[in-house]
Amino acid sequence: MKKTLEPPSRTATFLAAMQRWRGRRHAAAVPRLDLLPCIPVVAANIVTLAAPAAFRETLLQLVAAANERILISTLYLQDDDAGREVLAALYAAKRARPEVQIAVFVDWHRAQRGLIGKAASTGNAALYADMAARLGPGVPIYGVPVQKRELLGVMHLKGFVIDGAVLYSGASINDVYLHRHQRYRLDRYHLIESRPLADSLAALMTDVLRPDAAVRRLDTVSRPGTASLHQAIVKLRRILAASSYPTAAGAMIGNEQVGITPLLGLGSRANPLNSVIVQLIESATQRLVVFTPYFNLPGPVRRALDEKIRQQCRVTIVVGDKTANDYYIPADQPFSTIGALPYLYEANLRRFCKTHQNAVDQGLLDLHLWCHDHHSFHLKGLLVDDDYALLTGSNINPRAWRLDLENGLLIHDPHRRLLEQHRVEIERILAHTRRLDHHQGLDGIETYPLPAQRLLKRLARTRADRLVNQVL
């Protein structure tokens, strides 16, 4: 007997209305873009790095030359060759100059588990404790629990503060992000020489995170259980939701300068980073470029993009092909549930392209799929007209929007000093993309591996695909 779909319940209708209301609140969370306080930075002191290998080399060079401080914030520092290389460099810097302040901040939960789909393990924390036992306590590694469980939110802050420089990327530290062996995961990489910006990012790590009762050392075998930290975690989340990076108001951007506003974001309400992302999209008049690794847009972003396309603003979205997704499982390997995610994201993209097929045909909407051999794609951020750019670790998906602790650097470039760097960066990225001319240019569900087909059909039948999109 054929089943019929029931109309949405009152609860579902109410929740949808609340989501629309919350989306409208984002625009009021922070002042207008041109009124945001910023840190003036000489444009010549900003360098866009070309590739993961350059990112790794620059990081190691900065660490080796550090005289004052090395503060690192990243989702994880992996127990692999790249992770051990970075940790060894930190210990070497401490031995060479004991007065250098060193601290690493990673997600508490992620550090204490193995990789998804792999055998259970004690996680990266075992490496931290082992190196501390062998080499001494000079490189403290702190676990930051944003929520009681990893599924409900992680510490996704990015940024390497080394003396008066900021090395910013959405990349974490492992073999693939740092192109330690044959494969790489592409992100964006920027080196910014600015003492005030470095001080601003450092302040959150040293003044807010490090002294908090919920933030505990991971480089020791005697760690408290997460359950014992539950009350402290709730308090930390409230503190972080109300925190911001210190910046002085009233700064003017000189002719050879850009203005940089560091942004912090946590939760769906009054989130400054989310608000700026929506405002950036809404402010675009000529050209908008969006980078996202997973095509799973939050509602406010989707609606703002829909409106820009309707206004005939030129919109370019660069996303990874499903085979360039870090969850993609090749056909010759055993399939697991997590391997359905790239297909779910591709189905989202197919629907988006179908909805805006006229704009694609007219050249107003350019959808680019990145694919380069067996490498993967993890770019994030926005470029708006020729005067705004956002560097961020946020994946611009519902999870980043609602659950994770995120940050970003908003660059205001009224004198177009970084225009050439942006052009070169885009050309380099697009060199490995293909433009999607039609929604039928993407594989249909009938071509997917049978386990992925069954799972996606079951999710769609129960409407659980919407829930999955919200948490992954």
CATH at residue 17: 3.30.870.10
Residue 279 and residue 226 share a domain: no
pLDDT digits (tens, 9 = 90+) for 360-379: 999 999 999 999 999 999 99
Residue 289 and residue 203 share a domain: no
Catalytic residues: 156, 187, 378, 406
User: Residue 25: which pLDDT band, with cuts at 50, 70 and 90?
Assistant: very low
Residue 465 has what pLDDT? Answer: 61
**Distance (Å, whole) CA 289 – CA 386:** 11
**Distance (Å, whole) CA 71 – CA 162:** 6
Residue 376 and residue 339 share a domain: yes
Residue 358 and residue 381 share a domain: yes
Task: Note down the domain range covering 143.
Answer: 42-255
**Among the listed residues 129, 47, 138, the one whose alpha carbon sits nearest the alpha carbon of residue 89:** 138
**Distance (Å, whole) CA 188 – CA 49:** 8
pLDDT: is 6 or 111 the higher one? 111
Beta-carbon count within 10 A of 456 CB = 19
Mean of all residue pLDDT scores within the chain:
91
**Distance (Å, whole) CA 15 – CA 27:** 20
Residue 157 and residue 84 share a domain: yes
**What pTM does this model have?**
0.91
Of the three residues 199, 229, 255, the one that is the final residue of a domain is 255
Residue 396 has what pLDDT? Answer: 97
**Quick check: is 428 in a domain?**
yes
pLDDT digits (tens, 9 = 90+) for 119-158: 556 789 999 999 999 999 899 999 999 999 999 999 999 9
When divided into structural domains, the chain yields a total of: 2
287-292/189-193 β-pairing: unpaired
Residue 95 and residue 207 share a domain: yes
Please say if the pLDDT value at position 14 is more than 80.
no
